[in-house]
């Protein structure tokens, strides 16, 4: 073990988390600079004009390129940079071992079945922020910005086609975000707290917060916890990647199938008044399934291959 690895491995876990966060933020800034420079065609003066004008001045291909750079540099790149300093064995080598097909199938089923739960918890989340409050207004402004960008990206009538959007919105986030939050941050927290469940839920909370969409904080928190337990229970990051991929790709494929009209209405969760008995029954059934899955993972996660992979690193 090198001197640098020993120093980083013996660093307090809280300091490791802060250092990882600094890596992510620094590389996010690098990705944003490179993306804006790309959009400006390498012209620094034009780049300054784009910065002043904001994201509205960018076309969809530029937005996709900037998103791709952010995913690869800030999330995937920060994970590997931190692993180079602390040693991959300290992080369980990102848990890249092959999972069972049963776990992959379970991840896919849960990702598909989560839709009613996400819709329900989104509404509860928005209600909990107290409509009319300053917090609700602030969160609503962020949500509106994110929604406008999402609609622009998913409008497949112009610009890059379906494959390019799937790569940017589904494939790269599934791989890069899981690598950072479940492959890097979660092991640090598990080592630091000695409690796998705390590590999973704190990682999930940070995963949700980084999206800066607080009407959807609780739904994303549940997804993050689900992905965390999938990794812990299977001992592999790949079921979480599959679940994340299916969740994101589903929105893109529905947008491509339903067209512009769905983009205007389908991205917004249904109002309470629009829910019928079948909607409530489906949401309740999915909540029961999710609770069962999380309870099963919570009971068995500590004895999984995940914990064994976090044995003390060799000196």
Model confidence pLDDT, tens digit, residues 283-297: 777 778 777 776 766
Q: What is the pLDDT of residue 297?
A: 63
Residue 167 CB neighbour total at 10 angstroms: 17
194-221: pLDDT as tens digits: 888 899 999 999 999 998 888 889 999 9
In the three-class reduction of DSSP (H, G, I as helix; E, B as strand; rest coil), residue 155 is classed as coil
Q: Kindly indicate the confidence band of residue 43, based on its pLDDT and cuts at 50, 70 and 90.
A: confident
Is residue 191 in some structural domain? yes
Is residue 314 in some structural domain? no
Mean pLDDT of 82-102: 90
Is residue 315 in some structural domain? no
The answer to whether 143 and 214 have CB atoms below 8 angstroms apart is: yes
**Angstrom distance (rounded) from CA 76 to CA 78:** 6
Q: Which tokens in the block code for residue 211?
A: 């999206």
pLDDT at 64 over 50: yes
**Angstrom distance (rounded) from CA 207 to CA 242:** 17
Q: What is the mean pLDDT of the chain?
A: 83
**Angstrom distance (rounded) from CA 78 to CA 180:** 7
Q: What is the pLDDT of residue 315?
A: 41
Is residue 52 in some structural domain? yes
Is residue 180 in some structural domain? yes
Of 73, 241, 264, 64, residue with least CA distance to 165: 64
Q: What is the pLDDT of residue 312?
A: 58
Q: Which tokens in the block code for residue 85?
A: 């300093």
Number of domains comprising the chain? 1
Report the predicted TM-score, pTM, of the whole model to 2 decimal places.
Answer: 0.87
Q: What is the CA radius of gyration of the chain?
A: 20
* Long-range contacts (CB closer than 8 Å, 24 or more residues apart) made by 1-10: 1/87, 1/313, 1/314, 1/315, 4/85, 5/85, 5/86, 5/87, 5/90, 6/315, 8/85, 8/86, 8/87, 8/90, 9/86, 9/87, 9/90, 9/313
Is residue 77 in some structural domain? yes
Mean pLDDT of 92-99: 89
Q: What does the DSSP 8-state code read for residue 307? A: H
Does the CA dihedral 302-304-310-312 come out positive or negative?
Answer: positive
Contacts for 109 with CB less than 8 Å, ≥ 6 apart: none
The residue range of the domain holding 148 is 3-309
């Amino acid at each position: 073990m090198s001197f640098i690895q020993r120093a980083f491995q013996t660093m307090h876990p809280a300091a490791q988390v802060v250092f990882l966060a600094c890596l992510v933020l620094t590389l996010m800034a690098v990705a944003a600079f490179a993306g804006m420079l790309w959009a400006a065609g390498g012209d620094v003066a034009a780049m300054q004009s784009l910065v002043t004008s904001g994201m509205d001045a960018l076309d969809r291909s530029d937005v996709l390129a900037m998103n791709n750079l952010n995913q690869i540099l800030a999330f995937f790149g920060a994970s590997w940079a931190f692993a180079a300093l602390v040693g991959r064995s300290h992080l369980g080598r990102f848990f890249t071992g092959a999972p069972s097909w049963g776990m992959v199938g379970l991840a896919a089923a849960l990702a598909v079945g989560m839709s009613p739960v996400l819709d329900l918890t989104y509404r509860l989340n928005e209600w909990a922020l107290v409509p009319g409050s300053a917090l609700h207004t602030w969160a609503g402004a962020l949500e509106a910005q994110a929604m406008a960008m999402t609609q622009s990206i998913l409008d497949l009538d112009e610009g890059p086609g379906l494959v390019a959007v799937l790569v940017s919105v589904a494939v790269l986030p599934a791989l890069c975000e899981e690598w950072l939050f479940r492959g890097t941050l979660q092991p640090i927290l598990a080592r630091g707290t000695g409690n796998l469940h705390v590590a999973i839920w704190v990682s999930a909370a940070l995963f949700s917060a980084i999206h800066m969409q607080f009407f959807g904080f609780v739904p994303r928190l549940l997804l993050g916890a689900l992905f965390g337990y999938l990794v812990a229970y299977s001992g592999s990051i790949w079921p979480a990647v599959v679940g994340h991929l299916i969740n994101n790709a589903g929105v893109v494929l529905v947008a491509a199938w339903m067209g512009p009209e769905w983009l205007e209405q389908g991205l917004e969760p249904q109002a309470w008044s629009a829910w019928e008995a079948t909607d409530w029954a489906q949401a309740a059934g999915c909540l029961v399934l999710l609770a069962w899955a999380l309870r099963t993972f919570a009971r068995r996660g500590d004895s999984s291959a995940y914990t064994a992979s976090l044995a003390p690193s060799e000196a």
